[in-house]
Amino acid sequence: MLAADWSLYDLLTLGLGYLLGSIPFGLILTKLAGHGDLRDIGSGNIGATNVLRTGNKKLAALTLLLDLLKGTAAVLIGARFGPDAAILGGLGAFLGHLFPVWLGFRGGKGVATYIGILLGLYWPGAIAFCAIWLVVALVTRYSSLSALAASAAIPLILVLVGKTQIALLFLFFTVLLYWRHADNIGRLLRGEEGRIGAKKT
């Protein structure tokens, strides 16, 4: 879809998607719970994994859910104006999560929002993502590797089922997701990445 073909509704859903995506639920929830600024904890990331480092599992789960649902909500709102607007709503939400204007364009890594957008655009893809994540996690016990493997597979899966336009969108998302996981990839290559359930010493 060329920018010249965008309607007012397309632009509005892109903007609204960005605003939804840029809501830093992890940061807000940890402050409300009295844990201070999440950016001063652990990795400094605003996502659910870093919220878990506060020791509050329920808060981390809520952050994960809300980060996921804001992606789904952006898609569903856009879908009221057509499939192109739905895609643009998802695009806005993902960019908003990664680059929120309120936080100096330094946001999260995007995994939960990626799944939420996929849920809104093609729900079997979200199930496939979670299944791949789970299998890789069970075998390797690396959360980051599981997310990287699942996100790499999704564009190919979407092409195979004939969802080419959505596949291009998620290929773009996957590139951004890999970029945001550069530190994790480095630690994986060095054998220094923390495993799921591992106790810190």
Show pLDDT as tens, one digit a residue, over the chain (201 residues).
Answer: 545 566 788 889 999 999 999 999 988 888 888 887 788 777 767 778 778 777 778 988 999 999 999 999 999 999 999 899 999 999 999 999 999 998 888 888 999 999 999 999 999 999 999 999 999 999 999 989 999 999 999 999 999 999 999 999 999 999 999 999 999 999 999 998 888 766 543
3-state SS, one letter per residue, for 90-143: HHHHHHHHHCCHHHCCCCCCCHHHHHHHHHHHCHHHHHHHHHHHHHHHHHHCCH
> What pTM was estimated for this model as a whole?
0.91
Structural contact between residues 174 and 181, judged by C-beta atoms closer than 8 angstroms: no
133: phi > 0 → left, psi -120 to 50 → alpha, else beta; which? alpha
Burial 49-86 (b: 16+ CB within 10 A, else e): bbbbbbebeebbebbbebbbbbbbbbbbbbbebeebbb
Give the pLDDT score at 6.
Answer: 67
